[in-house]
Structure 1
């Protein structure tokens, strides 16, 4: 048995890698499962995937009534970087997502769901992503896309993206609805050269007050 002194180390704690959208508070830890909801959740998924890198595995079911427009996708990520998979039902979608995460070969794995999954499938996805971090070539980011305000239990974070366009340009309202170590917060995002980013400087008072 190891002694207490053998278990302790003076080495500083190294934070887990994450993806960010231009603000230190808009971060999603890699190797974990996050939930995206709101009517513009697919736009948010594409923006995050563009930051993480290709290939992206996007899994849907025949019940999905919405398909991505390649021309619209190209503003954020090249359509050739996205592999679309059609599962026969949502239980198969979650299984396919789990297998893709466990392999650790795709930096981003997205499950486009018609309803929030239960706790057990989410736990299995977390375990699969953790396995993929050690077994594969990357630390996979798992994204669950759910309608309305989401509600999947056990996720690392939950984010909502809604259009907030004006006559002056395209904008989106991003809300952090749930996070283990951070309170709810809202940002206003816009297109920039690097993709979606806050319309005000990071951590500014204006951004916090949106």
Structure 2
């Protein structure tokens, strides 16, 4: 009788989504985008991906994204929109969409940062899908959802007719805080170091 051969199971690293190398987000996890230009940053990420995008926003919201404003970054025809009528339904829809793996990107436009328990549930939902969808929550102001994989703050910093944004990585599990100036060059995002992030 021969002894069984023990083999170590190797896991394949989860791929990242990166509209620019400096802004690589791990799929199968939940990330937070905050600040006044958070929706623009979500469109950057959507443009770096393939397939349909589910955008979840409250039915009572007054800041719906406009397809005419999206077209410079991503094809609006890829988007599916859900508009739940209650706060708790926003997170429920996000969790179910991440768990299903039916779309590669799930964006939840929230009125305030969720607590730690909902964030953990969203992480688990994204991880349970073999498709490893990317989960984004958009929160106003400085955000602050506990337990997210990373937190990014984006604000406009336009220079005359030149479109420029200030992007700050305020939290990441394995990387330090950092800030960049973001501009567009020949259809591609270019990030240049922009000093230390505030806050």
Match of 1:33 among 24, 30, 48: 30
Structure 2: 5+ residue stretches without partners? none
Runs of 4+ aligned residues of structure 1 deviating over 4 Å after TM superposition are none
1:159-174 equivalences under 5 Å are 159-174=152-167
Is the helix fraction higher in 1 or 2?
1
Is residue 149 of structure 2 the alignment partner of residue 156 of structure 1? yes
Asked whether the equivalents of residues 36 and 44 of structure 1 are also in contact (C-alpha less than 8 Å), the reply is yes
Q: Is the 8 A contact 2:19 2:47 kept in 1?
A: no
Is 1:59–1:111's contact at 8 Å kept on the other side of the alignment? yes
Matched, 1:188 2:181: yes
Output the TM-score relative to the length of structure 2. 0.90
8 Å contact from structure 1 (residues 21, 197) kept in 2: no
Q: TM-score, normalised by structure 1?
A: 0.85
CA distance in 2, matches of 1:195, 1:56: 20
Q: 2:194, 2:7 → 1: CA distance?
A: 41
Q: How far apart are residue 8 of structure 1 and its match?
A: 4.8
Deviation at 1:192, TM superposition (A): 3.3
CA distance in 1, matches of 2:187, 2:105: 18
What secondary structure, in the 3-state scheme, does the structure 2 residue paired with 1:125 have? Answer: helix
The whole-number CA distance in structure 2 between the counterparts of 1:165 and 1:16 is 35
Partner of 2:18 in structure 1?
Answer: 20
The alignment of Structure 1 onto Structure 2 pairs a total of residues equal to 192
Q: Does 1:74 align with 2:71?
A: yes
Distance in 1, Cα, partners of 2:7 & 2:143? 40
